[in-house]
């Protein structure tokens, strides 16, 4: 079986990919994660996912490499990882009562052939109207400082939403598994048909 590499140091993506039961290794790619002038959120997410996967092809010449990146946007404003409590509170104040789109780029690169496939999956969340006290309490409890949009949907972040829209809730956490399985099946890596290792 081909070696499978997740081009990420994210514990969230690692946990999602582990759900498929396919053996994989992780390696952190080193790329500049900055938007180009005028670049849309979806284009940025797709480009960064591709750059992450391709950055590891020389290091793993026979592998299939998964790159993924997520960019959140609210009313055209890009939302990155907050990094600290104040930024998380500011992001959630911006999002309160609004729809936020999470664009998750996904790339599967075949280091052997040099080919790669890239796509972008969008998942949207509608935030409740949130009081300053609710926002501060949420940030204190869930500590979403390393999450785009300043929440953890797999944790208490679900309490912030009125509704969610999209094809795959895993997309919101950072790895669109339904689309990834489609890509992996092209290389005979199917979690439902492979022989257990």
Q: Which residues are catalytic?
A: 69
Reduce the secondary structure of the chain to three states and give it as a string: CCCEEECCCCHHHHHHHHCCCCCCEECCCCCCCCCCCCCCHHHHHHHHHHHHHHCCCCCCCCCEEEEEEEEEEECCEEECCCCCHHHHHHHHHHHCCCEEEEEEEEEEEECCCCCEEEEEEEEEEEECCCCHHHHHHHHHHHCCCCCCCCCCCCCHHHHHEEEEECCCCHHHHCCCHHHHHHHHHCCCCCCCCCCCC
196 Cβ contact list (under 8 Å, min separation 6): 21
Structural tokens at position 68: 């993924």
Residues 126-135 as b/e (b if ≥16 CB within 10 A, e otherwise) read ebeebeeeeb
């Amino acid at each position: 079986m081909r070696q499978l590499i997740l081009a990420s140091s994210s514990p969230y993506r690692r946990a999602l990919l582990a759900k498929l039961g396919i053996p994989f290794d992780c390696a952190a790619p080193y790329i500049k994660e900055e938007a180009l002038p005028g670049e849309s959120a979806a284009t940025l997410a797709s480009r960064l996912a591709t750059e992450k996967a391709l950055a590891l092809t020389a290091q793993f010449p026979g592998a299939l490499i998964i790159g993924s990146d997520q960019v959140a946007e609210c009313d055209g404003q890009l939302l990155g990882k907050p990094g600290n409590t104040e930024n998380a509170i500011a992001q959630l104040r911006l999002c309160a009562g609004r729809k936020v789109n999470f664009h998750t780029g996904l790339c599967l690169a075949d280091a052997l052939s040099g080919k790669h496939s890239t796509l972008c999956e969008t998942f949207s969340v509608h935030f409740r109207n949130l009081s300053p006290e609710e926002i501060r309490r949420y940030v204190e409890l869930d500590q979403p400082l390393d999450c785009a949009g300043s929440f953890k949907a797999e944790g208490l972040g679900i309490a912030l939403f009125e509704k969610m829209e999209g094809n795959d809730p895993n997309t919101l956490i950072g790895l669109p598994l339904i689309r990834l399985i489609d890509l992996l099946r092209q290389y005979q890596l199917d979690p439902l048909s492979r022989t257990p290792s």
